[in-house]
Structure 1
Amino acid sequence: MNDALSFQDLINDTRPDAELSREEVIERNLRVVEAHFHNENPDDVDKAIALYADGIVWEAPCRGMVYTDPAEVRKAYFGIFRTIKYNKTTALRRFATETSVFDDQIADVEVVGNEMPNLGYPIGTRLNARLVHCFEMRDGRITREIAYEMLREHGGSLDHDSVPEGAHVVVYDPSAF
């Protein structure tokens, strides 16, 4: 992927997929999802939301949540930011087609608030979350984001994952270990 392209380049790229080669569409889809994840934070979430197409559908099926209004998606993100503190993420795999991007990661997190509907864990619980995202894409925009948040108590009997050799790990809070 071309890392020299900026967020503004992605926003300004309004070319329909039909004008690009298959490889260019896939590369753009991967860049859009990377930029979306990069901007999923309280300071930049509006940039993440700007990468949605009109008619966005955002789902968290494990919690029974579906949003179709960007303002509601934004509100949900801030609820997540106030509820979950990330200690570490491990990127397992990401791949794309012309119409979809799949992302699989593990997040070591702590529950610090109670603004995520149907979370099911009290404040103070440390979780190992398997976060699998399926993005549907069209013309360089995200039309649907499905976030499968499979939550397990950290160190519990269900806390087992196969991590590929060389998986990219980001530590946000070294004091958690």
Structure 2
Amino acid sequence: MFEGVKDKDLTREQVIERNLNVVEAHFHNETPESVDKAIALYADDIIWEAPLRGIIMTDPVEIKKNYIGIFKTVKYNKTTALRRFATEEYVFDDQIADVQIVGDQMPNLLFPIGSRCSCRITHVFFMRDGKIRREIAYEGFRPWGGPADLDSIPEGSEVVVYDSEVVGT
């Protein structure tokens, strides 16, 4: 719905709805099997950032390699969606992930293989005409169960469990 339509030709509500749907589709396709569909939602002038790891990318081929590295490094046990909202130009997404570090292909990740971490992942997406033109992923990795593993979780937050077998600490 609204594919190929410019923002200026939609109502404010339609632009916001489309932006939320694009980000949902992007997250849904952040898997090894469908990462190309996630990347297809980027604008031609995409900028992908992970500032807490010092990463900035503008080449979709490099961004895909980065995602493959993430898939080979982080195993998701559980996610908790805290909040997501949008305007005509931005989508904000805030979640917590219970993860295990299973590889070493994520540059500047300061946790060794075998670590279990809680990761507060806050995304800001800059949107234009139904495409993501900038994705900023603030990835706050913390030792699972440690003193900094503390979050205010809104009542009714959606929790998705990916694997009941959790190893590592």
Deviation at 1:35, TM superposition (A): 0.1
1:176 CA drift (Å): 2.0
How many residues are paired up? 167
Letter in 2 for 1:125: S
- SS of 1:81's equivalent? helix
> For residue 49 of structure 1, what is the amino acid of its counterpart?
I
Q: How does 1:74-113 map onto structure 2 within 5 Å? A: 74-113=64-103
Corresponding position: 1:163 with 2:153: yes
CA apart distance, 1:151:
0.7
Unaligned 5+ runs, structure 1:
1-8
Residue equivalent to 2:24: 34
Consecutive unaligned residues in structure 2, runs of 5 or more = none
Counterpart Cα distance in 1 of 2:64 and 2:125: 17
Residues in 1 aligned to 2:134 and 2:165: alpha-carbon distance in whole angstroms:
36
Deviations for 1:150-173, whole angstroms, at most 9, x for unmatched residues? 010000010000001110000001
- Between the aligned partners of 2:104 and 2:57, the Cα distance in structure 1 is 19
**CA distance in 1: counterparts of 2:57 and 2:76, whole angstroms:** 23
Greater than 3 Å deviation, 4+ residue runs: none
- Paired residue type of 1:166: G
Identity of aligned residues (%): 65
- Matched letter for residue 143 of structure 2: E
TM-score normalised over the length of structure 2: 0.97
Query: Once superposed, what is the RMSD of the aligned Cα atoms?
Result: 1.0
SS of the counterpart of 1:175?
A: coil
More helix by share: 1
Partner SS state of residue 165, structure 2 = helix
SS at match of 1:174: coil
- Does residue 15 (structure 1) correspond to residue 11 (structure 2)? The answer is no
Distance in 2 between residues matched to 1:176 and 1:110, nearest whole Å: 8
